[in-house]
Chains A and B, each alone.
Chain A
Amino acid sequence: MSRKLPPKDVVIIGLGWTGSIQAQELTDAGLDVVAIERGPWRDTASDFPPSYSPDELRYRLRHELFLKPAQASLTFRNSIDQTALPVRTWGAFMLGNGAGGAGVHWNAETWRFAPNDFQMRSHLTQRYGAKFLPDDMTIQDWGIRYDELEPHYDRFEYLCGTSGTAGNLNGTIQEGGNPFEGPRSRPYPTPAQKQPFSHTLFAEAARKLGYRPFPQPSGNLSQAYTNPLGVAMGPCTYCGFCEWFGCANYSKATPQTTILPVLVRKPNFEARMECEVTRINLSADGKRTTGVTYVDSSGEEWEQPAELVLLCAFQLFNVQLLLLSGIGTAYDPKTGQGQIGRNFSHQTVSTAAGFFDKAKFNFNPFISSGSIGMCIDEFNGDNFDHGPLGFVGGGYMGQVQTNGRPIEITQQLPPGTPAWGAKWKQAVKDNYLSTVYAGTGVHGSSASYRTNYLDLDPTWKDRFGRPLLRMTMDLHENELKMSAFLTDKYAEIIHAMGASQVVKQPRKGPYDITKYQTSHLCGGAIMGTNSSNSALNKYLQSWDVPNLFVMGASSFPQNAGYNPTDTVAALAYWSAAAIRTQYLKNPGRLIDA
């Protein structure tokens, strides 16, 4: 039996990037906001100080900063005719937990999506004809345009101090930046990071092959920066312990280093940590949310009434909470009806390992950062003619190697090396400093399909006895073809760098829940133009329950060939602006469609 707390204007579920952004914006608008977060408070000095944060075993192998599967997991299968089984330990993706969410352990690669990514179906249909797309591919337009989102990308990048070289300033292509990017209204807030040897060599090789390389936009800062909220960040030290780790230098953009120090001091904000929302409550007619029910760390259940609920958990758990709360209609892959759980997608990453002559090449791979890298965008999105190739989609590619951490990096050895013994040891010694290996060197898109979806599992339960989310996911022919093509192009560049041996590792099916493929899970509660093709309108407002907004990559109808966080955060700012300028004046559906 839950006990009722005094009402709040706004309840935010989850205190990661989107929850922090929304809380900052809505407290600025004068609202009384409470954020309910199931993980612990985390900060630099207490959780990842410089004295012990560079610890590969603790953070990379033992998953110190991540959600524990015992607290919440999911089940997985490749196809509808299989029995899904629990994901007992993380593999294919890593889920954040606690203050900052996945914004603590990310690499901070801060890419915008390309303008035509937002009109993917209509753009591709117009260029190649409707028959070019596979029948079961369910990609669709987002209902929003790049130019609508641009000011919000800009806000997030200036919040973070993102380091980069602009490629397109108000329509004018800039030397040294990404010539394929959408127009940006002003340069990056800080210049691009410096680049280590192998990353520089990649750019030289790419240039020789006729490509236009540019530095990866980075939330690991090239110099000290004070953001518009007055929060100061330090320069990145290229320590090589970034993704999977917290940053001890205050130089990676995270909610902790950009927003939370300001937000937490506000009198109209409160965060309840280690409290897990178990249900979004609805009015008797099901047309409004009345707040949430949550369980605190002692197991007590509470009801927190609110006028407005913002669902800001990770993509998977947004979808799970919608399903458990009976909001919207669960997707049925047989009929294609229902919106919640539909259009699940991930990221089709691949790579090629390059082994170089150690007498001529010393890469010092440990000198790096999470979002360092030199990239090309010639093969992303629809920047190249897919007509003769028989697939759609693409990705950026680059030397984006983030580290030389030895447990991880010594797994890459020339083919034919024994797994153990004296020859293994010699090969490790001979190759450590002269191998190029970027696990996500090719960062491919992921289309959505009729049979890739999320629903509730009939068998396995979480710690509260609620059904786990069930993921049904496989790689399709289109993505496999794309990955083979992109990986070939990538391997040519690695070869042109002077590698003695290049080993291609294109993505192969079936989709494997044990193999890391980025944590970029998308879809399941997608945005769109009307309630028959989406769960949310273009402002991320629920079609079914208009005082509920759902943030995050769960709103992506499919995934592009870029990292999602910049778009996730820009959408949160865009949604917050709509709440402030439209919704608060007239609470109700912002769009009738």
Chain B
Amino acid sequence: MGSGVHVTIISRRQLLATTAVALIVLPHTALGSILRGALPWEPGKADPPKRVMPGPWLYFTPAEGAMVEALADRLIPPDTETPGGKDAGCAVFIDRQLAGPYGRFDGLYMGAPFQPGSKQQGPQSPVTPAQQYRLALAALDRHSRQTYADTPLVKLTITQQDEIIGNLENGSIKIEGKPGSDFFDQLLKDTQQGFFADPIYGGNKDMAAWKMIGFPGARYDYRDWIDRHNERYPHPPVGIGQHPDWSL
């Protein structure tokens, strides 16, 4: 065991040169990153979220996008005060999420084999969210045409659309031979996330969902309010993208 401080500030190159093995020039990433002597800090290293821009669908086909807008508008219907899922941008949110890491299961454990297990063991399907939407939306459209005289889902009355969603929820509509309730859960979760997430991701347009419930968003400092019990917080929400009244 050594004693006394070993004061040797050495560079990565020197470190390599002191190794007992033949020196090989390594690419910049070799050895990971070494921290010595100072906290690492470089300007411009922060990684802010990329704001979702309006425009064409990135993942959905136009027909799929229209279906998700119709479904989102029944899961979260418009009322006199607050827009529904469609106008809040939930379908845009889902489209951008499916086109990104979430849609591809990036970062998840995808080691084979895939085999079914108990509910407590968690999801075991290799089918990604993006693939699941493609399959499920096609199956729903077929179901709509078969059940309602060749009418596509987007042209159904809202009562008929609600009937389809109800049958998806209770599992009586099958997708790829399995109960549609799994896709219902996915669609509902994604739609609600789009409704309530920061507007920078394409949903919650004009912070409509936050205004509806009284959530002030990313204000980040309530020191002057912590003692004000049972009072309604008066200030409008702010997002991480822009000022309170911003709109794309």
A residues with a Cβ closer than 8 A to B are 3-6, 9, 30-32, 40-41, 43, 45-47, 49-58, 61-63, 68-70, 73, 76-78, 82-89, 91, 194-197, 200, 235, 237-241, 248-249, 260-261, 264-265, 267-275, 296-298, 300, 302, 307-308, 361-364, 366-367, 404-407, 410, 419-422, 424-425, 428-429, 432-433, 459-461, 468, 510-514, 584, 587
Contacts and interface: CB of A to CB of B under 8 A. Distances in A.
B13 interface: no
Contact of A83 (B2, B15, B18, B117): B117
B220 to A, nearest CB: 4
Given A6-B19, A69-B107, A274 B46 contact: no
Contacts of B26: 298, 300
Nearest to B240: A52
Given A264-B39, A410-B213, A425-B76, 7 more contacts: A31-B2, A89-B122, A268-B7, A364-B225, A425-B77, A511-B120, A512-B120
Interface in B31-86: 31-41, 45-49, 74-77, 79, 82
B31 A300 contact: yes
B35 A264 contact: yes
B202 to A, nearest CB: 11
Interface of B: 1-9, 15, 18-21, 26-27, 29-41, 45-49, 74-77, 79, 82, 101-102, 105-111, 113, 115, 117-124, 162, 165, 169, 188, 192-193, 196-198, 201, 209-210, 212-223, 225-227, 229-233, 240
Given A298-B27, A513-B121, A406 B33 contact: no
A87 B108 CA distance: 9
A265 B37 CA distance: 4
A82 to B, nearest CB: 7
Q: Name A's interface SS.
A: loop
Contacts, number: 279
Nearest to A69: B109
A57 to B, nearest CB: 4
A91 B108 CA distance: 12
20 contacts: A4-B20, A5-B15, A51-B240, A52-B49, A54-B217, A54-B218, A54-B240, A63-B107, A239-B219, A264-B38, A268-B6, A272-B35, A274-B33, A296-B30, A296-B32, A298-B29, A302-B31, A364-B232, A468-B111, A514-B120
Contacts of B40: 41, 43
Contact of A32 (B6, B20, B162, B169): B6
Task: Return the 10 tightest CB-CB contacts between A and B, nearest first.
Answer: A274-B32, A197-B229, A69-B109, A432-B213, A68-B107, A54-B218, A73-B109, A406-B196, A237-B221, A57-B197
B215 A406 contact: yes
A296 B26 CA distance: 11
B46 A46 contact: yes
B196 A410 contact: yes
Contacts of B216: 366
A8 B64 CA distance: 59
Contacts of B232: 362, 364, 433
A517 to B, nearest CB: 12
Contact of A420 (B7, B38, B165): B165
Contact of A272 (B4, B34, B76): B34
B192 A238 contact: no
Nearest to A33: B6
A493 B217 CA distance: 30
Contact of A50 (B8, B75, B220): B220
A57 B101 CA distance: 13
Contacts of B30: 296-298, 300
A275 B1 contact: no
Contact of A429 (B21, B213, B222, B231): B213
B74 A420 contact: yes
